[in-house]
Amino acid sequence: MTIKNVVRLGESVVKHEFVYAKNGVTTFECRELISREANGAESVCVFKAVFGPREEHAKHKHTACDEIVYCISGRGVEGIEVGPGKFEEIEYFPGMTLHLPTGVGHYTRNPDYFENLHLIGIFVGVPDMNKETTGYVSLGPITDAEKTVA
Give the angle subtended at the CA of 87 by the CAs of 105 and 124, to the nearest 5°. Answer: 25
Q: What is the pLDDT of residue 16?
A: 75
Residue 79 CB partners (closer than 8 Å, separation 6+): 59, 87, 88, 89, 106, 107, 108, 109, 142, 146
Q: What is the pLDDT of residue 9?
A: 55
Write the single-letter amino acid at 75.
Answer: R
Q: What is the pLDDT of residue 68?
A: 98
Task: Characterise 149 by phi-psi region: left (phi > 0), alpha (psi -120 to 50), beta (else).
Answer: beta
- Encode the chain (150 residues) as per-residue pLDDT tens digits: 455 565 555 567 777 777 878 888 788 899 999 999 988 999 999 999 999 999 999 999 999 999 999 999 999 999 999 999 999 999 999 999 999 999 999 999 999 999 999 999 999 999 999 999 999 999 999 999 999 998
User: Could you give phi then psi for residue 112, rounded to 5 degrees?
Assistant: -75, 150
Q: What is the pLDDT of residue 23?
A: 83
Q: What is the pLDDT of residue 13?
A: 79
For residue 26, count other CB atoms closer than 10 A to its CB: 12
